[in-house]
């Protein structure tokens, strides 16, 4: 097999393609031959050495990646409900940038109808993140007003589609003009281009009484104002801190990280009770032990994908050997939808 291996944290040159021995196949596990591997911003944070769960669960060296689509190559003892050659997708806790993966049976799912391998590989991480943020934490009621930051990206695009499907009034925030139409096509009722519009003036005009839910993975750049625009009984759901981290071509700076950390708002529980606001956060990589819950979320996503409620993301394809180019592209902030690697 081949896999991208990172020996120690750093820049794009740390992503090295290597031949590796095939992994052992324990009982209850499945070996999947990967046809496509999803790329997520979390993978870039792993490369930088700043992803806490990567340090806790794996350490160095590490192969990044949370998702693949491919075919069943081999079944471990006790797995009798999958057939060799069957088209599947698999969720991984790291190890996904590889030509094959070995995962527990409960992390393998059918491929949604009409999805190519590339499209299927782009679904699990962003889909589960959006599902958990929206349905498990945000829980907006019919007609609720929600605001989605980074709405043309992987997680944001799923949040917009599911929010619209659940009957919410969705305000979508994008960072450049070429993303406006993409967000509108996803079903957003309002699209705000923060590069040319006053983000919070537009947001206030759409929801003068505040938002029932705001979904924010930006970090210090927007968290304070996101909190201020939550309505009474509303919820701010935080699932990332992208603006704290280096962009394409920037070097990691501990001083810069410390400065952003010090500027990150601290939410006062007393103020939260007085305003009836909630702040909620999560990291999907720390939820893998909640197998039944995640399986339920994945089946919902697959059903929505089958029914056309959740449409495949626009895909940019790179060879597995070009993982560095893919991560550089993702870090520009100019992508729409998802990037995938093909072994």
pLDDT in tens, the chain (343 residues): 999 999 999 999 999 999 999 999 999 999 999 999 999 999 999 999 999 999 999 999 999 999 999 999 999 999 999 999 999 999 999 999 999 999 999 999 999 999 999 999 999 999 999 999 999 999 999 999 999 999 999 999 999 999 999 999 999 999 999 999 999 999 999 999 999 999 999 999 999 999 999 999 998 889 999 999 999 999 999 998 877 776 666 666 777 777 767 778 888 899 989 999 999 999 999 999 999 999 999 999 999 999 999 999 999 999 999 999 999 999 998 999 999 999 9
- Residues 98, 215, single domain; the answer is no
Please indicate, yes or no, if residue 110 is contained in any of the structural domains: yes
- Residues 136, 256, single domain; the answer is yes
- Residues 100, 138, single domain; the answer is no
- Residues 59, 158, single domain; the answer is no
Residue 31 CB: number of other CB atoms within 10 A? 21
Apex 219 CA angle, 246 and 234, nearest 5: 160
- Residues 158, 275, single domain; the answer is yes
Nearby residues of 129 by Cβ (< 8 Å), 6 or more positions away: 155, 158, 239, 284
CATH of the domain at 9: 3.90.180.10
Please indicate, yes or no, if residue 301 is contained in any of the structural domains: no
Strand partners, 213: 146, 235
Domain residues for 336?
Answer: 2-123+312-342
- Residues 100, 164, single domain; the answer is no
Q: How many domains are there within the chain?
A: 2
DSSP state for residue 286 in the 8-state scheme: G
Closest CA to 219 of 168, 250, 256: 256
The tokens describing 219, both together, are: 């970090």
- Residues 82, 192, single domain; the answer is no
- Residues 92, 131, single domain; the answer is no
Give the whole-angstrom CA distance, residue 294 versus residue 127: 11
Give the whole-angstrom CA distance, residue 330 versus residue 340: 11
Task: Tell me the whole-structure pTM to 2 decimals.
Answer: 0.94
- Residues 55, 74, single domain; the answer is yes
Please indicate, yes or no, if residue 290 is contained in any of the structural domains: no
Residue 214: in which H helix or E strand, if any? strand 211-216
Q: Please provide residue 4's backbone torsions phi and psi, each rounded to the nearest 5 degrees.
A: -80, 130
- Residues 131, 263, single domain; the answer is yes
Give the whole-angstrom CA distance, residue 158 versus residue 207: 21
Please indicate, yes or no, if residue 246 is contained in any of the structural domains: yes
- Residues 195, 336, single domain; the answer is no
Of the three residues 239, 269, 285, the one that is the final residue of a domain is: 285
């Amino acid at each position: 097999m081949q896999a991208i291996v990172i020996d120690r944290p750093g820049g794009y040159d740390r992503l090295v393609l290597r031949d590796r021995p095939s992994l052992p196949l324990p009982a209850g596990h499945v070996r999947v031959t990967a046809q496509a591997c999803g790329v997520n911003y979390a993978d870039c944070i792993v490369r930088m050495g700043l992803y806490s769960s990567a340090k806790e669960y794996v350490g160095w060296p590490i192969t990044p990646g949370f998702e693949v689509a491919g075919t069943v190559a081999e079944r471990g003892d006790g797995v009798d409900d999958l057939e060799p050659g069957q088209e599947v997708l698999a969720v991984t806790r790291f190890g996904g940038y590889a030509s094959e993966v070995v995962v527990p049976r409960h992390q393998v799912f059918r491929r949604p109808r009409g999805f190519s391998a590339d499209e299927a590989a782009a679904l699990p991480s962003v889909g589960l993140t959006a599902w958990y943020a929206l349905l498990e934490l945000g829980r907006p009621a019919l007609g609720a007003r929600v605001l989605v930051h980074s709405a043309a990206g992987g997680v944001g695009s799923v949040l917009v589609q599911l929010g619209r499907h659940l009957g919410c009034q969705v305000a979508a925030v994008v960072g450049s003009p070429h993303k406006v139409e993409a967000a509108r096509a996803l079903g957003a009722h309002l699209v705000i281009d923060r590069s040319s519009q006053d983000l919070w003036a537009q947001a206030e005009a759409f929801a003068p009484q505040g938002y029932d839910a705001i979904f924010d993975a930006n970090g210090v750049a927007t968290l304070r104002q996101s909190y201020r625009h939550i309505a009474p009984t509303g919820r701010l759901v935080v699932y990332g801190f992208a603006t704290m981290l280096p962009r394409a071509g920037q070097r990691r700076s501990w001083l810069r990280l410390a400065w952003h950390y010090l500027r990150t708002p601290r939410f006062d529980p007393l103020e939260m009770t007085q305003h009836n606001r909630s702040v909620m956060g999560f990291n999907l990589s720390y939820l893998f032990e909640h197998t039944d819950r995640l399986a339920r979320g994945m089946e919902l996503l697959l059903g929505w994908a089958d029914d056309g409620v959740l449409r495949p993301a626009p895909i940019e394809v790179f060879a597995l050997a070009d993982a560095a180019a893919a991560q550089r592209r993702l870090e520009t902030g100019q992508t729409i939808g998802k990037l995938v690697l093909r072994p």
